[in-house]
A and B are shown apart, each in its own frame.
Chain A
Amino acid sequence: MNLDFTQIVSSIPYILQGIGVTLKIVGVAALIGFTIGILLALCKIGRFKGLKWFADIYTSIFRGTPLILQLLLIYYGTPQLFDIKVTAYTAAVLAFGFNSGAYISEIIRAGILAVDKGQLEASMALGIPYKKMMKDIVLPQALKNILPALMNEFITLTKESAIVTVIGVTDIMRRAYIVGGNTYRYFESLIFAGVIYYLMVIVLTLIGKAVERRMRRSD
């Protein structure tokens, strides 16, 4: 069997450097996605029909088309429409942020709707304004319930980030691919990349569990 991991040892630091690139994309995209998700969810449950429609259409489009198409549209498409240069990193962060915002908004919406109606009534009866009620009473309870679903989304995001390879961002995946090409050792370098992704997901899972334990202290 033609299998020799020693052949890629010298390239390991190069591949490992991709972790930083991937984390930077995933981290910022997750933040954008989470923010958009909360805003869209509030639009969806709010009173204003116009905002509700906007949020529904947004979700429908970003869920209804391939992520890779959105990424390519932002990277190659926007410079054609507007006279601006979009770096691969910016395109990646925006595409992933916008896309996960659509999914996260549905998760948060479900979480908000699952909060006991009595909580809203108690808040109203105390004269607590809508914004404060959402921020301090409803969202903290909603987030606790949707934490597993949110972690799922972030894990998906981490793995899906590998498609930035197609626009030339040198993330873990891209680097593994390059090393594979240089050494003719695709199997070894790809397996190594796979191990890195897997470990990152494991770490995310552990963080998620720790956060969940913390939040469940009041149960």
Chain B
Amino acid sequence: MIKIQDLRKSYGKVEVLKGISTTIQKGEIIAIIGPSGSGKSTFLRCINLLETPTSGHIWVNEAEVTNPKVNIMKVREQVGMVFQQFNLFPHMTVLENITYAPIMVKGTSKKDAELHGRELLKKVGLSEKEGEHPVRLSGGQKQRVAIARALAMSPEMMLFDEPTSALDPEMVKEVLEVIKSLALTGMTMAIVTHEMGFAREVADRVLFLDDGQLVEDAPPAEFFSSPKSKRAQDFLEKIL
């Protein structure tokens, strides 16, 4: 469970998050959408403290990550993250990318980590690529490896920061399929996305952010058919 209370973030004088509160229940799938510059990514990145909130409180399960005394590294082990730019480690093979953190952070034995790693590679359909370096992979393959890498830590929840925005159009589907299959396992997920069809199909709830504010919070059917706010109506009109 993730609980967020009056989250604010400023860069100098610019306030990009203006007091956001919401709760993500265990097993829930949240799609975060909104125009660019609305603060969606910042919002997501605050959850595992890749961005330090200016004020407000965030709890991940029992741990209040905004409390400086809490060991954020421990919390991050439970929260997997997938980035727009993949951020695979270029000097490691695919399998090493996946097994590094379990071995070095969790102390899993190399053998177990590789076993689990191969299982995950199979799940994302890339078993034959385990010995390759990331540079030899297509964007879609890289992102699937990145998902496997995050899952290798056996996280309780996953954060996706525009996972398909850097992909060529023909590769979007393969990545979304992997995320969908993950959704079926009951994983708690928060996904910043521009893929409206995907959001409608997969999400339990849609959070619509605009100008640093949480403007709407509704199930996708309701949000996409009858958005309440003028801002959401305008946004949907532009993109659909």
Contact = CB atoms under 8 A, between A and B. Distances in A.
Interface stretch (B15-23, B83-91, B121-129): B83-91
A60 B80 CA distance: 43
Given A126-B101, A126-B150, A144 B76 contact: no
Given A118-B83, A132-B104, A136-B104, A125 B90 contact: no
Contacts of A137: 89
B100 interface: yes
B91 A127 contact: no
Contacts of B63: none
A141 B89 CA distance: 9
Interface residues of B, number: 28
B204 to A, nearest CB: 23
A141 to B, nearest CB: 6
A124 B150 contact: no
B50 A127 contact: no
Contacts of A118: 83, 85-87
B128 to A, nearest CB: 18
Given A121-B83, A122-B83, A128 B101 contact: yes
A126 B89 contact: no
B105 A119 contact: no
B77 interface: yes
B76 A125 contact: yes
Interface string A95-137: 0000000000000000000001011011011111100100011
Nearest to B104: A132
A219 B101 contact: no
B105 A129 contact: yes
Contacts of A128: 100-101, 104-105
13 contacts: A124-B76, A125-B76, A125-B79, A125-B80, A125-B150, A126-B149, A126-B153, A127-B77, A127-B105, A129-B105, A132-B105, A218-B91, A218-B133
Interface of B: 48, 50, 73-74, 76-77, 79-81, 83, 85-92, 100-101, 104-105, 133, 135, 146, 149-150, 153
Given A126-B149, A128-B100, 10 more contacts: A118-B87, A125-B79, A126-B100, A127-B76, A129-B105, A132-B105, A136-B100, A137-B89, A218-B90, A218-B91
